[in-house]
Amino acid sequence: MMIKRLVFGGSVIESIPANVGLAILRVFVGLSMALGHGLGKIPPSERFVTIIENLGFPLPEFFAWMAAFSEFGGGLLLALGLLTRPGAFLICSTMLVAGFLQHAADPFSTKEMAFLYLVITGMFVVIGSGKYGIDPLIRSRDSHL
C-alpha cells in the first residue's frame, strides 16, 4: 500500500483553477521534454554517448539510453499524469546531471533550462499530478491512497 501511495499518490488540491493550472503546466512541460528533448536522443547518437562517457559514467551507451528514456518516457508519463511522480523523478535526476555536471562550467544562461525543468519536475515529484490526470483515476479505485 505504501508503494502505491508513493507511485500514484499526491496532494489533494480542491481548487478547480489550481488543478487546471497544474494540468496545463504538467502537459506542456511533459510534451516539451518528450518531444523537444527526448525524442531527438532516440537512438542516442555517438556524440551523445561520448558526452555521457566524458562525464565519467560507466557504460556510457546504457546511460545515454537511460537519459533518452527519462526525457522521452518520463515526459510522456508526466504529460498523461500517469505515474507522475516516477516520471517526474526520472526527468529530475537527468536535469540534475545536465545542470550540475554537463553544464557545470557554463554560464547560468546556458544551464537555466535544465534548472527550470529540474525545479518544475521536482514540484511534480512532491505533489503528484493534480486532479486532472490518470493517477487520480487509479487512486480513486483504492480509497486508501
**Mean pLDDT across the stretch 84-105?**
97
Which pLDDT does position 139 carry in this prediction? Answer: 82
Where do runs of H (alpha helix) occur along the chain? 2-8, 16-33, 46-54, 60-80, 84-97, 108-127, 134-141
Is 16's pLDDT higher than 60? yes
Which pLDDT does position 143 carry in this prediction? Answer: 59
pTM score of the predicted model: 0.90
Domain that holds residue 55: 2-141
Is 144's pLDDT higher than 80? no
Confidence bin at 33 (pLDDT 50/70/90): very high
Which pLDDT does position 97 carry in this prediction? Answer: 97
Q: What percent of the chain has pLDDT over 90?
A: 85
pLDDT in tens, 39-83: 999 999 999 999 999 999 999 999 999 999 999 999 999 999 999
Domain count, the chain: 1
Helix (H, G, I), strand (E, B) or coil at 104: coil
Which pLDDT does position 58 carry in this prediction? Answer: 96
